[in-house]
Amino acid sequence: MSSYTRYLTEAGLTVDLIEGHDEALREMVQQIRGKLLVAELLIGLKKLDLPGSLDFEQAKALAKAAATAIQMSKFGYVVIIASKMN
């Protein structure tokens, strides 16, 4: 985070607010994983028809990797508000 604030400061901005939202990112990844599961079930029940090129295993692996990265604090979501110094 310090590198982002340094870049902004070096660009002549003042950092007014830094707000972490890792929980929102965690929830989004969980929602994606849930939707992948539902889509896979609907395809299996012949209730949903998607292109055969869609790779659910890869999508699930990516979502799982994202969840793991968030848990290990490798991925995060933050809002930074900066303003121009006068």
Dist CA 39 CA 5 (whole Å)? 40
Q: pLDDT digits over 8-25, tens only?
A: 999 999 999 999 999 999
Is residue 83 within 8 Å of 13, Cβ to Cβ?
A: yes
Can you give 25-54 as a three-state secondary structure string?
A: HHHHHHHHHHHHHHHHHHHHCCCCCCCCCC
Q: pLDDT digits over 18-56, tens only?
A: 999 999 999 999 999 999 999 999 998 999 988 878 888
Check whether 1 has a pLDDT greater than 80: no
Dist CA 54 CA 28 (whole Å)? 21
3-state DSSP assignment of residue 75: coil
* Global pTM value: 0.76
* Residue 2: per-residue pLDDT: 82
